[in-house]
Amino acid sequence: MKYLLNLFLLIFLVPLRVDAAEYNGQNIDGIIFSATVYSYSTGEYYYVDVEFDRDEATIYFQDGGYITVSLDGEEIDDPHNILAYDYQRSVFWDIDVDGLD
């Protein structure tokens, strides 16, 4: 019985670790930034808004469309060179975020 109580406490009361997207140790999840993105598929630049969520980013285009891309990880080293991949369309993107430096 004591074992089951300890197991219950361990499973339900230990906080889960949720990693957030970070730049310089600061959580940037859920903040919408202006950015320029480059599509390796079209070879064109787009002026967009971008919102980070852990190891993903949602890119909002000016025409109302959006895509969600995967980042290499949660920690962003250079806000002007964030490499991302769109698994649905098999396209690499380069994100250049304004206002993070």
Q: Profile the chain (101 residues) by mean pLDDT over runs of 10 residues.
A: 54 58 93 97 98 96 98 93 97 95 80
Residue 5 CB contacts under 8 Å (≥ 6 apart), including other chains? none
Note the pLDDT of residue 92. 98
Note the pLDDT of residue 1. 62
Note the pLDDT of residue 37. 98
85 with 91: CB under 8 angstroms? yes
Note the pLDDT of residue 13. 53
Please tell me the distance from the alpha carbon of residue 25 to that of residue 13, in angstroms, as a whole number: 26
